[in-house]
Every structure is written in structure tokens, then in C-alpha cells.
Structure 1
């Protein structure tokens, strides 16, 4: 039976970081288990290829939620990375840390060591910002972060001018002194290739003799002995295998799979587990609870001027851009489609920016989420204005469908279940119309296609929201960090309550969802989690 100091489950945004940092000094042996396979895939490495990875079973769990009452009974599509690098290998690559106040909120919720001043060093340690280091940015970390200033579509300038006309200020760096304002996004990319955590961290960790990476290794349960997690059972190549941990088992399987593995191992609400035929080992009622996610909505416009649709829809356009990318690693295939956006206040009464904006100079009317790959844009010139409220108050949960570890978990988002979330979605719709009505956007808008000018009242807008809005793929908080073991799963050192030798280190521990894209803070959690583990190991 194989034995290592640390066994990590999940090679994603946090797990890959842990494997690298825990193995750096050579003192400890690491086994990293990943249910998926290699990230050496063209559609992963080419930035805009995420439209293909979005619907690829070989690298994506491709989850679907249960019918969601708040979305008029619709089932949502939840892609999650099943590959080295996890969701950092299939996401849209936008690098956003969140607001400084988000982390002050984390600390105020009873989590010492997680305020802004505490986490900033880990954001900086992880990052190699192409603009170099300063008080807020890192300059020599493994994760390369690039700007898109020289490559974005010209319509981004119209969008940013429109936002200024609507009363919002420009911000050259959402990850600097303040998040508020509008500007161009930065992405995790280098040299025209995606910068996943597999590329940034695992590429160097795998060269070390003290690191073993097992792919296509589907974790089925944890080994529990006398109140301690001592190993992991997994299935690989049709055979059941076991690996033991001398020091700790670390779950980094993400907001869906980490709580699923805990529950399969008997760690969860005792009565709920018994009903699924699982013998409880630790009564932990908060496992899988407190699910938070961002909901977004797009407004589709037909343009008077060419958009990326004209470059990427015809076969000759695809060929030309493909050749350009292969030869120069530049052009639209080297970018994210989310090129511009920002963080603004949707009403003057809110203290902090509560709305994230997106501008995409491309549209995919005939590729609904979860139905087919996003590879063929519309034949007409079109673009998207989008928004998402940054701090939703609705809470859902993850549950077991059965005791079978290969059965998909139940995902209950419980979307739009609070009045605040409903009102903010309507405010977001009004904001889209306000920006679209500005002179700079009116100069390029031919017509609003979706939802269309017939939708005007709050009631009509809310019904449109329920019919069309969807996740923007930021699920967090299902193994929430906090001081009360009845309401949270891990403490401020990421140790699972009621179990020795077990931690959770991934986005599932977020006390609350951050204001924006969640990949950067998940990587930060991996960085800080590694330090916590090493501190405790050395002190033992």
C-alpha cells in the first residue's frame, strides 16, 4: 500500500498549488489524486478554446442542477474542470481578486488571519504580473497575468466611453488600489497560451522526486480510523486502490466534489446520511450547505459595425485567425471573449460596487449553455452586454443522490430566493439599458435583439431574468470556514471540525463569495493553505 506524508484530492486551482508548495523543500512526500487526465489539450491551451472545453466530457464534469424554482424550474448547466488544473483549465481566464472589503468581511465573520492585509501577500506571491510588481501586484510568482490592451476589439472603446457617459469612472487595474470602475480585464495567460495552475504550479512540482501525480483516479471515500483521516480510497483503471497519509489528507476537489466526498465518507448531517444508506462517522450538519454562486444575464445587440462574429463565423475567417494564432500566438484566439467590464454601483445607496459588468464583442445565439460547444458565433454582427450582482444573498446546497460515488451529486442552487437578489437583478437590467442608451453605444447599436424593447416594466424584466439568467460558474462556500462547527465545516486553519488529519483547501471554504471571478482567490487559498499546513506540521 502506497504511503505519503500528504495526500491531496483534486489537482485544480488550489490542489495544484498545494502540491507545488508542500513539496518545495523536499522534506515531505506528496500524492496528488486527479479524477481527470492530462491538460495537454489544444482546446485547453488556446485561450478562446474554452468554448470547446465548455462541453467536453473528457475534461469536464458537466454537471446539471436540480430544477431551480427561482429560475422557473429550469435546470442549470455547471461545467467544472475534470483535468489537471481543474476549472482553471477550462475557465474564461479573467483574473479578479475581489474587493479588499470582501476579505475584511471574511475576518469579521470569525476567521482571524483572512483579512485583506493577511491575504494580499499570497495574491502577490502567486502572481507574475506583466506590468511588474508594486504595492498590490506580484512580479515573480508562477501565475502569469496579462493585459489585453493591445489586442481587444475596437468596440471595447465604445463600451468604456458609454460607461463613462453613464457616470462610471475608468479603472486601469481592478486588482490594484480599488476594484471600482470600468476598464479592460486581465487574464491568466502567457505567450498566447492559457496559464492554468497545471501550467503554473504542477509543471514544476511534477519534476520533483517527492511528488506523485495519479490521473484518472476517482476518489470514492476517505479512510477514517479512530476519528482521524488516514488515507483515500480511489478507483483507477477499473481497480480499487488505497493510498495512506502519514500526516494529512487534504480535499481540494472544489465546491461540488469536496462536500460530496466528505458525505460519502460519513462526514455530514447524520440523519441525511443514514437516509442514503451511509453510516455516519462525524455529525457535521454544515457540509454541503451555504452554497453561493453568481448569476448573470446578457443583453444581445445587433451591431451597425463588424464584431468578432465577422472574423470567427465564416470558415475562411476561422482559418485566417487560426493561422494567425499558430504563427504569432496573437489575435482573438489568444484572448478571452470577456474583454471589457467593471465593478459599479447599481444605485447610489449601496456602499460598495455591487454589480460586475461584462462586454463581449461576439455573440452565440444558437449555442445555449450546456447544449453545444461555443464554437460558432452568430452570422450577423452582434455583441453582448452582461452583468452579475457581486454578493448574492440566496443560499443553496449540495447533496448526495445516492451512496454511489460515481453518481452525480444533487445541486440545489436555490437561486433568487431573497428579495434583495430579485431587486438587484432588476437593477442590473436597468443598468444594461442605461449603458446601451448612451451616445457611444447608440452609435454602434442597430437593435436590441434579446430580450427586446417590449420588455420594459420591472415585472417583465424579472420574468425575463427567471427565464434566461444562469450561473457564471462561481460556486463556493459548501465547506464554509467559520468559528461555529454547527454552521461551518472548517476552522480558520482549514481543519475539518470533528476529524483529525483532514483539511479542505479550495473555493468551498470561502466564508462568502468574493466580488467577481473566483479563480484568483481560490489560488490564494491554496497558497495560504500550504503555509498553514507547513506551519502546523513543523510545530507538531
Structure 2
């Protein structure tokens, strides 16, 4: 590690790994990547079903929790975030979902030039190595494998068939021409192994002499000369270290930590900064505001036959067979990802696009402190509202960088969110009552078949949980509450961009890892374009 680099990337997660790869590819620029976690050596990172263990492992997960949520009966809700190479792409459920065309066209229509669907689609395709081949919607030959589940599961097949019988169209590709329908999910996996952004992007970048990586290094603040970001301070092996950047600093720490680092550095709501004695570099009231997250309701459906992971894990011989099958074929339960089938559904016929998402998991658990499987045969069907109305915040609660910020998504604070979820739950029940799925179900364990209307709303407040998709806390835009412009440059500052899910003005309609990778591609394009322009002027 040197004392000076052209570019400093803070965070080696979904967007940061992409930035590191693209900025170092030409060999012209020196790049330092700073990561608070360690290498991705934990075996459960690489086994797809291992996300059930990494979600509760402090060595690879920040294990954040929200503040008590009034809309969820005062409960604190887990907010797992990846800590280590690959960030949350190393601990997530692997699903590859881009969202809807209208999500990105909506960003563009808010004044963010170059962020419409036709603009971002080439960035999605650039990253992708689609198992099904290239085409109008997909790329092949990119660093990120996107693949189908290697084998079918009877619950997944029954769910899809039941959805079609219930009047929902079949869709083999949620990232294609349309999103609506029921069908299989694809994931960032290859030959039965997870493909995080560390494996897809960072690993090849680390072979280049112009890129350095420092791990177990927690950033404490960004350093400024006036309004120019000149360097980064961090703690490494018990020592305080400072490194400077000739060109730019790229903040890629995610929707929780990017605003927290900005606030610690004197960039954020002026009153909040002064409350904790932090000198104000730039007053930006929107830093940490606009937090959005997906919330979900879960059906626990008991099955008549022992065909779930609950049954596999309850039987030592089936456990042994799981391990043997995975070792020799890379198939079986250990190769499953979080959602072996699902759907995107309209809760009302007058809607122009889906507003809820279904996931099917071939197991069931209470998921409290640890994911303990139920002692009976069951699977889980979840209902997620795609575009929540509720807004929350991330705010520092100490000037000590090691103290986590206050995280408050304000789940269900807008009553429309609960209404959409309840409507989605009714559709899920209709699918579960259709054949061939109905014949597989013994009973509805949760929320229970007797619960209706107001009782469902009470169930949501008592049991709903996060899907772990926080975004929006460094919102892109041009108004007084925006944090970055449409080139991801922090308003009023020089040499600093935010490049991660925190820049989303609105939450996309689906899982957030693929869009975060796309944001990394977009950010790299902006930075390299600026470098080319600066070089031509200097010449």
C-alpha cells in the first residue's frame, strides 16, 4: 500500500468490486480498494444455500438492526450487510433480478439524464454471462455468470403450474421483455457455486500491478481540502492511516454505510452534524434520508409429503446424501438459492405493472436469532411489496466511527404499504388453493386460514420482516434534498462520487444486487469518461 493513488474505492461490495475492475483494466490508473471486512474464505460464502449461515455470522456480516419500528409493533428488524470481499453479494440469496423498465424510466423522468431503461440495459448486458446466450435483453461473455437452477423441485413446479391455473401468465425470464408472471428465478451462480462480485470482478483485478487492496480496514472519514475530497482516513491493524487520491474518491459502502461515512466526514444535515460536534464541510440535508426497503409477509405451508429441506435436515442419512450429492454433482439442496421459483403480480387489474413479488423457499423457519428449521414438513411462500411508499433514514448517533448508525426504514408507516401486502397475500392464497399445489399442502400454519382483512394487517405488524434491500440514502437528483447528480458526483464537492444502491431515487421492483452491479458499471463509465476528458485537456 502506497500513500497516494489516482483512485480510492471505499468498499469491495457489489458496486465497489465492479469499480475496482473497470478502473484498473487499462493499467493507466493506480487504484486502492479499502474493505472493512476480510477475504471471502468462509466456505459458506461459496455454497449457495450457505446464505442461511452467513446471515447470522459476524465475521462476514455487519449484523445491523433497525431502531424499533412503530409500524411493526416496535420490533427491531435485522439488516444483514456483507462484510468482506464481495460485500452483500457474498451473503445474499443470489437472485438475479433487474427490476422493471418503468423503474429506470422513472429515474430519468425525475431529471436524471442517462438513467432510462435504454441507457442502463447495455450496462446490465456488459456484466452478464447469460447461460441461455445473448439476445436483445441479455449479454454473454461478461464476468458475471447468470444461470438457471440445475434441477427442478416438485414444489417449485407445482407453484408455477398453480399460478398459471389461477390466471397468472407463465414467464420464463423475469429480466426479459416483461416481468409479469410466475416462473423460475435465475441467479449469480456457476457449476453449483456462488459467483459474488469479488469472484467475478475483483479477483481478476487483483492480478494487475496497478491495483492494491487493503482488508480489515474501517474507514473513519473522508478528508477534504476545502470542498475537494483529497483522501481517506481509516483504521488498519490498530493504526490510523491516511491515503490521498490524485483524481477521485469513490464511495461504494452501500445504503447504510455510505451516508454514515459522509456524515462522519462533515457532509450531511447541518443540525445533525453539529449535534455530534462534527465540523460541517458541506451541508446536504438529504444525506441519510429517503431510506427505502422491501418488507415481506410469509406463508408457512405444511406439506403432506416429506419433500422439503426441513425433512432433509431432520434425517442424518438425508443430510449425508445432501453432502455427497453436492460434492460430486454440485446439485441438491446445498445448491439452492433464495427462491427456487417466484412471480411478479398485479394486485389490481387496473395497474399497468406488477406491484408485488412472490418467492418460494423449499423450507420454513421462524428466522429469529438463528434460522432454525421447523420440525414439520413445510415450505415458505413470501409476498413482497415492490414499491413501498414509506420512507425512513440512516443517521449517525455518535461521532465515534465504530458506533453503527441509527437505521429506521419506518416500515408500514404509510398505510398504503400494508394494503398492498394484504392484497398480495390474498392472491398468494388463491395460488396455494389451485392445483397441483393445493394437493401438496396439508395446512396453512401461518398466518392461519381463519385470518382475514383486519386480522391480516395485525399479522403483518406482528410478523412481517425485511427482504434486506435498503436503498436511496444518497439519492440521485437535482433538488435541494438530492445528494448526488446524474454523474454520481456529490453536490457541492469535488473529487467525490457515491456509487452504490444508496443513489437510487426510488427502490426498484425486485432484488437489488443486479441493479447495484449495473450502478457500478455506470459509475466506472462516468469516472473513465472524466479521466479521458481531463487527459485531453492536459495534452
**Partner SS for 2:173:** coil
Give distance in 2, aligned partners of 1:178 and 1:430. Answer: 23
Q: Say yes or no: does 1:89 pair with 2:90.
A: yes
- 1:473 aligns with 468
Give distance in 2, aligned partners of 1:421 and 1:358. Answer: 18
- 1:515 aligns with 509
- Contact kept? 2:127, 2:143, Cα under 8 Å: yes
Give 5+ residue unaligned stretches, structure 1.
none
Shift of 1:323: 1.7
- 1:425 aligns with 421
Spell out, residue by residue over 1:460-511, the C-alpha distance to the aligned partner (whole angstroms, 9 max, x if none): 0001001111110000000000111x11100000000011000000000011
Shift of 1:279: 1.3
Q: Say yes or no: does 1:446 pair with 2:447.
A: no
- 1:200 aligns with 200
Q: Say yes or no: does 1:506 pair with 2:500.
A: yes
**Partner SS for 1:234:** strand
Written as runs of structure 1 = structure 2, the 5 A alignment for 1:117-136 is 117-136=118-137
- Contact kept? 1:251, 1:503, Cα under 8 Å: yes
- Contact kept? 1:337, 1:362, Cα under 8 Å: no
- 1:176 aligns with 176
Shift of 1:42: 0.5
Give distance in 2, aligned partners of 1:439 and 1:86. Answer: 40
Shift of 1:332: 1.5
- 2:56 aligns with 55
Give distance in 2, aligned partners of 1:349 and 1:78. Answer: 34
- Contact kept? 1:14, 1:252, Cα under 8 Å: yes
Written as runs of structure 1 = structure 2, the 5 A alignment for 1:35-434 is 35-148=36-149, 150-308=150-308, 309-365=310-366, 367-368=367-368, 371-372=369-370, 374=371, 376-434=372-430
Give distance in 2, aligned partners of 1:414 and 1:377. Answer: 29
Written as runs of structure 1 = structure 2, the 5 A alignment for 1:484-503 is 484=479, 486-503=480-497
Give distance in 2, aligned partners of 1:40 and 1:207. Answer: 18
**Partner SS for 1:539:** helix
Aligned residues: 532
**Partner SS for 2:159:** helix
- Contact kept? 2:94, 2:338, Cα under 8 Å: no
- 1:532 aligns with 526
Shift of 1:310: 1.8
Spell out, residue by residue over 1:220-258, the C-alpha distance to the aligned partner (whole angstroms, 9 max, x if none): 000011211000000011101011100001100000000
Shift of 1:185: 0.4
Spell out, residue by residue over 1:176-225, the C-alpha distance to the aligned partner (whole angstroms, 9 max, x if none): 11111110000100111100000000110000000001000100000011
- Contact kept? 1:151, 1:332, Cα under 8 Å: no
Spell out, residue by residue over 1:403-459, the C-alpha distance to the aligned partner (whole angstroms, 9 max, x if none): 000001100111111132121011122122211221322211101111112312x11
**Partner SS for 1:425:** helix
Give distance in 2, aligned partners of 1:20 and 1:147. Answer: 26
Give distance in 2, aligned partners of 1:198 and 1:117. Answer: 27
Give distance in 1, aligned partners of 2:132 and 2:204. Answer: 23
Give distance in 1, aligned partners of 2:492 and 2:383. Answer: 40
Spell out, residue by residue over 1:289-346, the C-alpha distance to the aligned partner (whole angstroms, 9 max, x if none): 0001100111001101222222233222222111211122111211214100011101
Shift of 1:10: 0.3
**Partner SS for 1:40:** coil
**Partner SS for 1:218:** strand
- Contact kept? 2:226, 2:281, Cα under 8 Å: no
- Contact kept? 1:337, 1:361, Cα under 8 Å: no
- Contact kept? 1:230, 1:244, Cα under 8 Å: yes
Shift of 1:153: 1.4
Q: Which moved more, 1:402-411 or 1:327-336?
A: 327-336
- Contact kept? 1:71, 1:466, Cα under 8 Å: yes
- Contact kept? 2:155, 2:437, Cα under 8 Å: no
- 1:34 aligns with 35
Give distance in 2, aligned partners of 1:137 and 1:252. Answer: 25
- 2:431 aligns with 435
TM-score (norm 1): 0.97
- Contact kept? 1:287, 1:479, Cα under 8 Å: yes
**Partner SS for 1:243:** strand
Give distance in 1, aligned partners of 2:226 and 2:280. Answer: 13
**Partner SS for 2:394:** strand
RMSD value, Cα: 1.0
Spell out, residue by residue over 1:353-377, the C-alpha distance to the aligned partner (whole angstroms, 9 max, x if none): 1110111121124x42xx01x3x53
Shift of 1:280: 1.0
Match of 2:454 among 459, 473, 488: 459
Give distance in 2, aligned partners of 1:212 and 1:202. Answer: 11
Spell out, residue by residue over 1:130-159, the C-alpha distance to the aligned partner (whole angstroms, 9 max, x if none): 1111111010100001101x4131111110
